[in-house]
Amino acid sequence: MILILGMDLGVFIAWIGTLLAAALCVVYGLYYSLIKKTEEQPVLPKKQEKKQEEER
Amino acid sequence: MDMLFFVVLMAIFAAVFIFLGYLGYKRTKTAEDYFVAGRTMGSLIIAFSYGATFISAVALIGFSGIASIYGHSILWLAFLNIFVGIFIAFLFYGLRTRKMGLSLKAMTLPELLGNRFKSVKLQQISGLIIGVFMVAYTSAVFLAIASLFQVTFGIPYWVCVVIFTVIVGIYLIVGGLYAVMWTHAIQAIVMLIGMIILTIGIYAMLGGIGPAHEAAAALTPANLTSIGSPAASQAPNGLTSMPPLLSQPFMMLLTLIFGVGIGVLAQPQLIIRYLTAKNEKALRLAVPYGAIFILLMTFFAFSIGPLCNVLMYQNNIMYPVKDVAGVMTANPDAVIPTIINEFFPAWFILIFLFAILAAAMSTAAALFHTAGAAIGRDVYEKSIKNRSSPQKSILITRIATFIIVIATLIISLNPLDVVAFMTAFFFGLMACTFLAPYTLMLYWRRTNRIGVWIGMLGGFLFTMAWYILIYFKTAPKIIGTPLIGNYMINMLDPIFIGLPLSFLLTILFSSITKQDKEEEAIMKKSFENI
């Protein structure tokens, strides 16, 4: 049986998959904090929204 | 270990938490403060609180022990813990839950369901299911932890239970979710320190990642039998290889990995964390912090578990056992404590003791808070005709939480048989009951009250029936012999059938019935900001 870092293929995929999943989360965090600088729209009650539209 | 030193450190530990409880009390002015920490939490606190709630002492020590039996195959659970438990959970559930929670002014999962489908009864029944089963689950968590402390450190069982309950009860009831989440941040740091040192220590002793895994792979069933390790039969292809497809160990892993790995999405105590975020960005940025925390907890715990066999074999240490009704059986919960006692210095034993204590307290505090909110806010307060003021709402929940803390203490001191297997029960039950209605409520506009009622109750009743009549861990203790003897069926977690059933029922009945006008208006409002 071929072992990678002492693990068989099924276990190695889980091992590397866990590290990659964590890396994905870190990359996502970096992307959001460094590149995508969007902030959500503030939640406005409907009346206020209408008022704003009328003002426009 | 010097007992006096332990007591002094314990007193400092308790004093810090109670002080944070006091700060939480000073800051708690409204119901929103008490239930969702004023929706003011940043990414790091959310991530640590989510992680510390998710990872209990049972997970930390118990799952390392399970890994010592089934080998590194359990790393699939670490993968799901991060990919599903963090990435999918925060991005596909957390963001929408927070927005819908704001639109519907909801502060608990039952309130979210009740407000979304304009049904007080739905909120009350959901709250009741959560409250009742969470008390039993919390008792089970206490039972496991206190037993562990008793076996490992010689501290009497009742002393452990009383100390946990009193400290957690005080800062939780006084300080609400502010106190819970702040203490979680400290507890998470203690857990991280303990786990990082332990993992680096074990890998260093075995010569690094490659050599350690190769040493584990080289252990034959005969080697494992010589130290009394159950891995000899439960990891038939070796500690670093997958078990044969559809064998009993394979089915055991399958049920564990999917039961916990998917079940995490519908845990009410975790869902509350999404509602505490101060903005969308806080939730998004909690993703990397949460992933790193879970990686350092579960990935490390599952990685070192099998390696404990190598250390025990190389040093002629027998696999720990416990006396169950006069029969000596393998005790996986004592594997990590045994390794620490044998191979680590006294100062680290103390650090790890506090890491376990922190893991136990953080999970217990989150469970008490969620159960208190479920019974106080969702069940009792909704049965009062006059709307209560925010102050009265907090008082009701504080009283409900106090009653739950006392009930848990009584159950933990006089544990019933049913309590012991609640840990196996809880994740699956919550997932099969709430995951389908919760997911469809967030994503499918046609979901309606009738569909949610039938999907929720269908999932709940099926899961209860499965645990009582069929599931291999619970059915023998309730009815003697499972109705189905085939292990490929009775070892399946109910999530495999109960969850699709609950989805099917919710979709089917939402399709064949219509929303009334009021429901439709609320549906539009709840999707306004999504």
* Host H or E run for residue B337: helix B335-343
Residue of A nearest to B215 (CA): A6
Tell me if chain B has a CB within 8 Å of the CB of A53: no
Cβ separation of A43 and B529 shorter than 8 Å?
A: yes
Please state, in angstroms and rounded to a whole number, the distance separating the CA atoms of residues B134 and B196: 30
Tell me if chain B has a CB within 8 Å of the CB of A4: no
- Smallest CA–CA distance, residue A15 to chain B, in Å, is 6
Q: Indicate the burial class of B258 (C-beta count within 10 angstroms; 0-12, 13-18, 19 or more).
A: buried
CB-CB contact of B164 with B361 (8 Å): yes
Tens of pLDDT, residues B441-454: 999 999 999 999 99
Q: What is the DSSP string of B470-529?
A: T-TTTHHHHTSS-S---HHHHTS-THHHHHHHHHHHHHHHHHHS---HHHHHHHHHHTTT
What 3 state SS string does B44-95 have? Answer: HHHHHHHHHHHCCHHHHHHHHHHHHHHHHHHHHHHHHHHHHHHHHHHHHHHH
| Phi then psi dihedrals of residue A17, to 5 deg | -60, -40
- Please give the ipTM for the structure prediction: 0.89
Please state, in angstroms and rounded to a whole number, the distance separating the CA atoms of residues B139 and B497: 27
Question: Which residues in chain B touch residue A6, judged by CB atoms under 8 angstroms apart?
Answer: 209-217, 240
Residues in Cβ contact with B400 at an 8 Å cutoff, skipping those fewer than 6 apart: B372, B373, B375, B376, B377, B380
| Phi then psi dihedrals of residue B154, to 5 deg | 70, 15
Tell me the three state secondary structure of residue A3: coil
Please choose, from the candidates B192, B184, B181, the residue with its C-alpha nearest in 3D space to the C-alpha of residue B293: B192
Place of tokens 């009738």: B450
Question: Which residues in chain B touch residue A33, judged by CB atoms under 8 angstroms apart?
Answer: 285
Place of tokens 């920490």: B37
Integer-rounded Cα Rg, in Å, for chain A is 23
Please state, in angstroms and rounded to a whole number, the distance separating the CA atoms of residues B290 and B90: 10
* Nearest Cβ partner for B210 among A6, A24, A46: A6
Please state, in angstroms and rounded to a whole number, the distance separating the CA atoms of residues B40 and B47: 14
Token couple for B171: 């800062």
Residue type, B37: A
Half-sphere exposure of B102 (CA within 13 A, CB side): 23
Tell which phi-psi region holds residue B497, choosing left (phi > 0), alpha (psi between -120 and 50) or beta.
Answer: alpha
Q: Which of residues 83-112 of B touch A (CB under 8 A)?
A: 83, 86-87, 91, 99, 102-103
Question: Which residues in chain A touch residue B522, judged by CB atoms under 8 angstroms apart?
Answer: none
Please state, in angstroms and rounded to a whole number, the distance separating the CA atoms of residues A19 and B159: 40
Please state, in angstroms and rounded to a whole number, the distance separating the CA atoms of residues A44 and A53: 12
pTM recorded for the entire structure:
0.90
Cα B37 to chain center, whole Å?
20
Task: Write down the domain spans for chain A.
Answer: 1-38
Residue type, B342: E
Residue of B nearest to A22 (CA): B291
* Host H or E run for residue B347: helix B346-373
Tell me the three state secondary structure of residue B41: strand
Please choose, from the candidates B144, B179, B145, B161, the residue with its C-alpha nearest in 3D space to the C-alpha of residue B20: B179
For every one of its 530 residues, what pLDDT tens digit does chain B have, with 9 covering 90 and above?
A: 567 787 888 888 889 989 999 999 999 888 889 899 999 999 999 999 999 888 877 777 778 888 999 999 999 999 999 999 999 999 999 999 999 999 999 999 999 999 999 999 999 999 999 998 888 788 777 776 776 676 666 777 788 788 878 888 888 898 999 999 999 899 889 989 999 999 999 999 999 999 999 999 999 999 999 999 999 999 989 999 999 998 999 998 998 888 888 989 999 999 999 999 999 999 999 999 999 999 999 999 999 999 999 999 999 999 998 877 788 888 888 888 889 989 999 889 888 888 888 888 888 888 888 998 898 888 888 887 666 677 787 888 889 889 988 888 888 787 665 555 566 678 889 999 999 999 999 999 999 999 999 999 999 999 999 989 998 888 887 888 888 888 888 888 899 999 999 999 999 999 999 988 888 999 998 888 87
- Smallest CA–CA distance, residue A56 to chain B, in Å, is 21
